[in-house]
Structure 1
Amino acid sequence: MKEQEFSVVAGATVHRCLAHREHEVIDIVEQAYRLHGEGRTINPPSYFLRFPDRPTSRIIALPASLGGDIGVDGLKWISSFPDNLAHGIPRASAVLILNDARTGSPYACLEASIISAVRTAASAALAARQLTRNRPTPRRIGFVGTGLIARYLYDYLSVLGWDLESVGLYDLSTEYARSFAGHLESRTPEAAVRVHTSAGELIRSSDVVVFATTAATPHVTDPDWFGHHPVVLHVSLRDLGGEVITAGSNIVDDVDHVLKADTSVHLVEQRTGTRDFIDGTLYQVLTGDVEPPADRTVIFSPFGLGVLDLAVGHFAYQQAARAHELLRVDGFFHDVDRHRSPDPVGAPTALGTPDGAR
């Protein structure tokens, strides 16, 4: 068996390994969803570390195991501290630990904020491609929330081949919205970019609506805004009121995972005592078991699965290894020579302890 090694993959390397690979990453995420739907993954509930003195902040642990040809276990440890933005520090930061599925040994630690953003964007793009398949090709897309995640979401949606005529933006921070507008105008000269003055105005003028906010409670509550039946990528999970949710067709990534932590769909379950308003999962859409309607608003609410982080992180690790950009940590594992002793007396017994140590 290969000698234990441990490497670090820095954020700049992760970015290089994933940049301009949108189609590949969407395929990787689809493969992970299919493995999950087939029961070939382990994806326990996410664990939330919250702070009574810092109620807006949290750190989340996402353990997971991904089977199939990938075969990797691991954990994403991601923090969200919104107050950081006022100090010029990113809101989110994360690391991803990869473990060898044969031995359980950790073999890599990757900077994971980019991995998290990319897998979120790839998941949304995959869902958008599937949920619009029975509709005219979307021409108008709108973003509620214009931070870093929105930029990744746009990059991944832009590879779907939609001939966009307009991109709408709305954010509580006009500065953020205008910055995003400037970013898009240089990338989409054929589409009109408009900063809207209200979420309702943006929603009514969009075929696909993307929510990428930091909202903690629902703030979009009028079902009439969705009277034209758009596809809604509810990435930030807590924007939509119960009336909007129940009026739409709801697709999620994993039913048990999304019905927690006071997401919009979780609040509806708590209020109604039923899950009947959920029509199916993205896996069921992929397999054709669930057909998204063209005459209702379709809402995709992805809680975010750790198996997606593992799939994308493993791919980034492989790319870094091929490019010889792994930062190997010599001596990370201590005192391993004793397990290589050729002396039968010193070898581990069936109980795992040397004979002389009993």
Structure 2
Amino acid sequence: MPYAPPESLLVVRGAEVTEQIDGNREACLAAVRAAYLAHARGDSALPHSSFLRFPGRERDRIIALPAYLGGGFDVAGVKWIASFPENVRHGLQRASAVLVLNDVETGFPYACLESSVISASRTAASAALAAQELIGARRAERVGFVGTGLIADHIRRFLMELGWGIGGFRLFDLDHAAAERFSRALREDDMPDVKVVDDVREAFSACDLVILATVAGTPHIDDPAVLRHAPTVLHVSLRDLDPSLIAAAQNVTDDVDHVMREGTSLHLAEERFGHRDFVDGTLVDVLEGRFTRDPGRAVVFSPFGLGVLDLAVGKWVHDSVAERGGGSPVPGFFPAS
């Protein structure tokens, strides 16, 4: 049969993405786990992400994450995601994104999905996966959130839907109103002992699981006392911790080469210390039993966020939506051969 372009391009709207993920977060977590394992086996292609920045606007950026993922997914594609923090002041989301999926036989794109929800969900799934594997169970005496925006809320939704047993929460955000909104969402989930705190250290000291989900561009936490009780720290926003704290902890990441760039705390630690010896393993090392937790030290998971995760979640969403006849086909999108 001769090669031919697809008959149409399928557009999957944000509402359809959300509908697929809500109530199916266990399956989303499984897709992320499978993507990590396939990547570790070398069944992927993952160029470095490309950061587009604007002169005189250091906080704004648009990032391209191209990738190929095998391991039963057999898909290529690219996520194109913008992060404009000033949007929040104008009632807009900080991040907006699309994900394009390409057929690996012909290279033709066959789907375009709204991807801010996919991106946030794969980030939250990665964090939830790391937390349960590093702790060894889906429970925590108390969880601290530093940053209570969109990503934090997606992580909250994963913890709730996955049935985590949590005894309390401590919330810190420079925007006190955002922290109060987050606390109301937790109380609506019937969560106990929810408190908004005025000092970032309180989000650490009272908690055995700490989630950093800020928009910080440079490290702002450098007090060694925050890690003395050996918490599990999900360093989702990557740039919060001073290199001295990185050196004091056990460190786990998703891909060592990818995370050592773009001014992440691990990148700054490499520049300060001249080596990468402070990295103790990857999440796949944890999944496959090659990482040993030191109970006397904090463990910090710093995920760079890999394009293969977007492909895994995006392919799962696309296939599920398409199977039930959803999405909006755009016939005649490609020129005739």
TM-score normalized by the length of structure 2:
0.97
- The SS at the match of 1:57 is strand
- Aligned-pair distance for 1:52? 0.9
- The SS at the match of 2:59 is coil
Q: Which residue of 2 aligns with 1:292?
A: 293
- The SS at the match of 1:213 is coil
Inter-partner Cα distance in structure 2 for 1:21 and 1:32: 17
Q: Which residue of 1 aligns with 2:180?
A: 178
Contact 2:34/2:71 (CA < 8 Å) preserved in 1?
Answer: no
Q: Which residue of 2 aligns with 1:307?
A: 308
Inter-partner Cα distance in structure 1 for 2:220 and 2:5: 53
Per-residue displacement from partner, 1:97-142 (whole Å, max 9, x unpaired)? 0001111110000000000000000000000011112x89421001
Contact 2:5/2:334 (CA < 8 Å) preserved in 1?
Answer: no
Contact 1:169/1:202 (CA < 8 Å) preserved in 2?
Answer: yes
Q: Which residue of 2 aligns with 1:241?
A: 242
Inter-partner Cα distance in structure 2 for 1:3 and 1:266: 42
- Aligned-pair distance for 1:3? 5.5
CA RMSD of aligned residues (A): 1.3
**1:264 aligns to 2:265 (yes or no):** yes
**1:153 aligns to 2:155 (yes or no):** yes
Q: What is the one-letter code of the residue matched to 1:17?
A: Q
Inter-partner Cα distance in structure 2 for 1:325 and 1:114: 17
Q: Which residue of 1 aligns with 2:59?
A: 56
Inter-partner Cα distance in structure 2 for 1:136 and 1:305: 24
Inter-partner Cα distance in structure 2 for 1:159 and 1:288: 26
- The SS at the match of 2:66 is strand
Per-residue displacement from partner, 1:178-201 (whole Å, max 9, x unpaired)? 011111101034x11100111101
Where do residues 74-89 of structure 1 align in structure 2 (5 Å cutoff)? Answer: 74-89=77-92
Q: Could you tell me which of 84, 109, 112 is aligned with 2:112? A: 109
Q: Which residue of 1 aligns with 2:233?
A: 232
Identify the range of structure 1 (228-237 vs 193-202) with the bigger mean alpha-carbon deviation: 193-202
Q: Which residue of 2 aligns with 1:124?
A: 127
Q: Could you tell me which of 72, 95, 105 is aligned with 1:92? A: 95
Contact 2:25/2:162 (CA < 8 Å) preserved in 1?
Answer: no
Contact 1:78/1:93 (CA < 8 Å) preserved in 2?
Answer: yes
Inter-partner Cα distance in structure 1 for 2:111 and 2:270: 39
Inter-partner Cα distance in structure 1 for 2:309 and 2:40: 13
Contact 2:78/2:100 (CA < 8 Å) preserved in 1?
Answer: yes
- The SS at the match of 1:197 is coil
Q: Which residue of 2 aligns with 1:139?
A: 141
Contact 2:86/2:94 (CA < 8 Å) preserved in 1?
Answer: yes
Q: What is the one-letter code of the residue matched to 1:18?
A: I
- The SS at the match of 1:329 is strand
Note closer, same or farther for the CA distance 1:102–1:136 as it changes in structure 2 (3 Å cut).
Answer: closer
Unaligned runs of 5+ in 1: 337-358
Q: Which residue of 1 aligns with 2:71?
A: 68
Structure 1: 4+ residue segments shifted above 6 A: none
Q: What is the one-letter code of the residue matched to 1:145?
A: G
Q: Could you tell me which of 6, 9, 13 is aligned with 1:10? A: 13
Q: How many residues in Structure 1 have an aligned counterpart in Structure 2?
A: 334
Unaligned runs of 5+ in 2: none
The structure with more strand, counted as a fraction of residues = 2
Inter-partner Cα distance in structure 2 for 1:39 and 1:13: 32
What is the percentage of aligned positions where both structures have the same residue? 49
Note closer, same or farther for the CA distance 1:136–1:19 as it changes in structure 2 (3 Å cut).
Answer: closer
- Aligned-pair distance for 1:315? 0.6
Contact 1:129/1:160 (CA < 8 Å) preserved in 2?
Answer: no
